[in-house]
Amino acid sequence: MQKTYARPVSLQPTVSGFCPGCLHGMVCKLVAEAIDKFDMREKAVGILPIGCATLSMEYYNFDMVVSAHGRAPAVATGYKRCRPDNLVFTYQGDGDLAAIGLAEIMHCANRGEKLTTIFVNNGIYGMTGGQMAPTTLVGQKATTCVNGRDPAQAGYPMRMAEIINTLEAPVYVARFALNTPANVLKAKAGIEKAFKNQLEGKGYSFVELLSNCPTNWGVSPEDSLKWIQEKSIPYFPLGELRNN
């Protein structure tokens, strides 16, 4: 018998605490596989946010710093400047990155810090129980916009990859979705590309991943994948916006 598929060494052999059907577990696996691919587990440092993504501190099998809400890009900046030989990435959700941490992500990207951001966009605050995020779609219901997001009150969902792409310094900006095997494979290649850029000392890479939240969207895991296809992707177009 030949073993052709195994848990990445960069993931701990533990049970995931993410909600059933949540794609965060997929993101953890993709990131861990990419780190394994470059044989960088012993040099990897994840800078975690506050939000559902914080749970990954229990799953990744390498060094991590858990930052305050929104501040991961600043913490990662301080860390990477002091230890440039480590593979440093921030792992952030949409409330963390696009609301409270907007200044930190913009300036980290604008300085062209030689690190990688993995941005998990599921259009809602998961950990706190389904409040409106900067990425919540127009009309989408949340506990703080019970009649659906109203642009007159809350503005429009923020396209973070496009916003980051207005800056000069980043070398790689891309958005992928996690709703189909084909899209997951593209996301995997994008994450690898982002890490490779860092290992080659090229500069800042930003990978946005359209994810789901069956629990707070109030749909089944299967329907949440359709939601990504039918609602998220039309507003948040997929692709590599920049690949220098």
Q: Which two tokens stand for residue 168?
A: 């000069």
**Measured from the CB of residue 123, what is the shortest distance to other proteins in angstroms?**
25
Select from 31, 35, 76, 118 the one that contacts other proteins (CB under 8 A). Answer: 76
Select from 24, 29, 71, 141 the one that contacts other proteins (CB under 8 A). Answer: 71
89 torsion bin: left (phi>0), alpha (psi -120 to 50), beta (else): beta
Residue 28 binds other proteins (CB under 8 A): no
Q: Which two tokens stand for residue 199?
A: 């290992």
Select from 77, 122, 136, 215 the one that contacts other proteins (CB under 8 A). Answer: 77
Cα 65 from Cα 188, distance rounded (Å): 23
Cα 138 from Cα 199, distance rounded (Å): 39
**Measured from the CB of residue 184, what is the shortest distance to other proteins in angstroms?**
26
For residue 113, what are the contacts with CB-CB under 8 A and spacing of at least 6? 73, 76, 77, 80, 81, 203, 204
**Measured from the CB of residue 89, what is the shortest distance to other proteins in angstroms?**
13
Residue 79 binds other proteins (CB under 8 A): yes
Residue 14 amino acid letter: T
Q: Are strands 116-121 and 131-132 parallel, antiparallel or unpaired?
A: unpaired
Residue 37 binds other proteins (CB under 8 A): no
Rounded to the nearest 10°, the torsion over CA 216, 137, 16, 43 is -150
Count of residues in contact with other proteins, rule CB under 8 A: 33
Residue 97 binds other proteins (CB under 8 A): no
Select from 82, 146, 152, 182 the one that contacts other proteins (CB under 8 A). Answer: 82
If the CB atoms of residues 50 and 177 are measured against other proteins, the closer one turns out to be 50
Interacting positions 107-166 with other proteins (CB under 8 A)? 107
By the criterion CB under 8 A, which residues form the site for other proteins?
A: 41-45, 47, 54, 57, 60-68, 71, 74-83, 86, 103-104, 106-107
